[in-house]
Copies of this chain bind each other. A is one copy, B any other.
Amino acid sequence: MESQEFRRFGKEVIDLIADYIENVRDRNVLPSVEPGYLLKMLPEEAPEQPEHWHDVVKDVHNTILPGLTHWQSPQFHAFYPAGHSYASILGSMLNDGLSIIGLSWKASPVCTELEVITMNWFGKLLGLPEEFLNCSPGPGGGVIQGSASESTLIALLVAKDKTIRRLNIVDHIDDEDEIKPKLVAYTSDQCNSSVEKAGLLGSMKIKLLKTDANGRLRGETLKKAIEEDKAMGLIPCFVTATLGTTATCAFDPLYELGPICNRENVWLHVDAAYAGPVFMCPEYRHLMKGIEYVSSIVTNPHKWMLVNFDCSAMWLKDGRDIKRAFDVKRIYLDDTENNLNIPDYRHWQIPLGRRFRSLKLWTVMRIHGAEGLRKHIRSQISLALHFAKLVGADDRFLIEPEPSMGLVCFRLKDGDKTTQQLLENLTRKKKIFMVAGLYRTRYVIRFVVCSALTTKEDVEYSWDVIKIETDLMYTNLIHTLPQIKTMDEILSREMYEKLQ
C-alpha cells in the first residue's frame, strides 16, 4: 500500500470507526454466532496475491463485526470497562505511525521521558504519596505495563528476589534453594484470577485468605496467617491487597494490612486495576488510607480511564529493587545510567521491547483534562446508583452488597437458581450483557456501567429489559404449572427451585 492510498483508506477507516461508535447502541451487545462461525467463512490459506483494501473492509462488515461482543455498547455491563475514547485512539495512531521501540533511552529518548512525565501526572492526580513518583528525590517511580496480571507477577518476583537477598545478608542463608520453597504469598479469596496466577507463574505458594462479610481482607486474618506460617518455618514474602475486587468492588483496608506487612518485611502490593482512577476524586481517597505502607500499586487506565487497552500503570516505592532483580546485560543494549531519575524501563518489565504507550495516556489526560476525567468517574458512579435505585424499587430483587463505584450486584430473592436462570435468559436474548459473581456464597448478577456512551436512558433501558425478562420468567412459570395460580405461591423459593 502506497502513501497516497493510505491517506485515502486511513480516512475511510476513521469514518468507519466513528460510524461504528455512533451506531453501536443499535446493535445487540452480544453476537449471534456459533463457535467456529468464522472458520467456516474465511479461506484456509493466506492469499498468494495482494488484495485490495476495500475487499478487506467488506470482510470487516460481513465477517468481523457480526462476531464482536460490543464492549463499547451502552448495554455492555459485564466484567469491567474496556477503556475507549477518541483522544486515546488518536494517541494510539501516533504510536503506530511513528513505530519506535523504546528498549532503552537512546532507542527513542521521548518514549522513556514521556512515560516518566505522564506517570508523574497520573500519580499526582490520584494523590499518591510523592515517594512513588519519579519526580520525587527518592528511588520511586512509575512505569506502564501491559496488564495488571503482568504488574502483579513482576511485584511478586521482585519481592521474592528482595527477600532472598535479605535472608542472604541478615540470616546468612546462602542457599537460595533452601529459601524458595518456604516463601509464601497471601491475598484474599476475592482476589482477581491474575493474582492467583502470579503465584502459579512465579512458583510461590499463594494463600487465599478468608474475607470478612464485606469481602475485605482484614488485618487480623493476615496477622494470624503470617504467625501460623512462621511457626511452621515458612517465610512470608508477599501480600496482594485489592482496592476494588472483581466480584463486588470491595476495598481491603490498607491501614490494617500495611503496618503488619512493614513489620514483617513483607512486600505489600495493591491491585486497584479497575477502581484506581476513583482516587482522582478526593471524596474517595479515604478508601486508600494506608497507601503509604505499600511497596507497589497497579491500576489500569485501560479500564475506567478512557485509555484504550493496553495501558497498566504501576508505581514502585523503590525502583532499585526491580532493576536488581531483572538486569541482564548485553553489548548491543548499552545504555549509560544517568542521574536524572530517568529509568532504564527495560529492567522494569518482562519483555525487552516497549511500545510508546504513554502517548495515549498523554492525549487522554490533555484532551479530557483532570476535570473531564473526574466528571467521567463521578457520572459513571451516579449512573450505577440510578440503576440500584430502579432495582431496589422492585421487591422481587435484592441488592447485595452495597453498590460500589460503577458496580451493582443484585439477585432475585427467589435464590441462586432463579437468578442464574434470569441471567441465562438475558444472555440468550443478547440485548444486555452481564456476568455472574459470588457474594457470601450467593450467586449474584454483576451490573457494571462500562461504556463511556452510557446515559441515564440506557440504564433505564437495561433495567426495563431485566424487568421484562423477569416478568416473562415468572409468567412462563405460571403457564407451565397450571396448578399454581398466584405469584405469591410462585415466589415461594422451595417450590420454584423444584422446577429447575
Residues of A within 8 A of B (CB): 1-3, 5-7, 9-11, 13-18, 20-22, 30-31, 33, 35-39, 42, 44-51, 53, 55-56, 60, 63-64, 66-72, 78-79, 82-90, 92-94, 96-101, 103, 105-110, 113-114, 116-117, 120-122, 124-125, 135, 146-150, 153, 157, 160, 176-177, 180-181, 192-194, 196-197, 200-203, 246-247, 302, 308-310, 325-326, 328-334, 338, 340, 342, 350-353, 355, 359, 362-363, 365-372, 435-438, 443, 446
Contacts and interface: CB of A to CB of B under 8 A. Distances in A.
A418 to B, nearest CB: 17
Name the prevailing secondary structure of the A interface residues: helix
12 contacts: A6-B17, A10-B14, A17-B97, A20-B98, A45-B124, A66-B110, A92-B96, A150-B350, A153-B350, A193-B330, A193-B352, A309-B355
Contact of A48 (B31, B79, B370): B370
Given A82-B100, A328-B197, A56 B367 contact: yes
Contact of A342 (B13, B35, B93, B180): B35
Number of this chain's copies in the assembly equals 2
A326 B200 contact: yes
Contact of A47 (B35, B86, B194, B366): B366
Given A71-B100, A89-B10, A353 B147 contact: yes
Nearest to A117: B42
Nearest to A175: B181
Given A45-B124, A117-B39, A350-B149, A69 B108 contact: yes
A9 B87 CA distance: 10
Residue of A68, A89, A99, A334 with most partner-chain B CB within 10 A: A99
Nearest to A151: B351
A89 B437 CA distance: 38
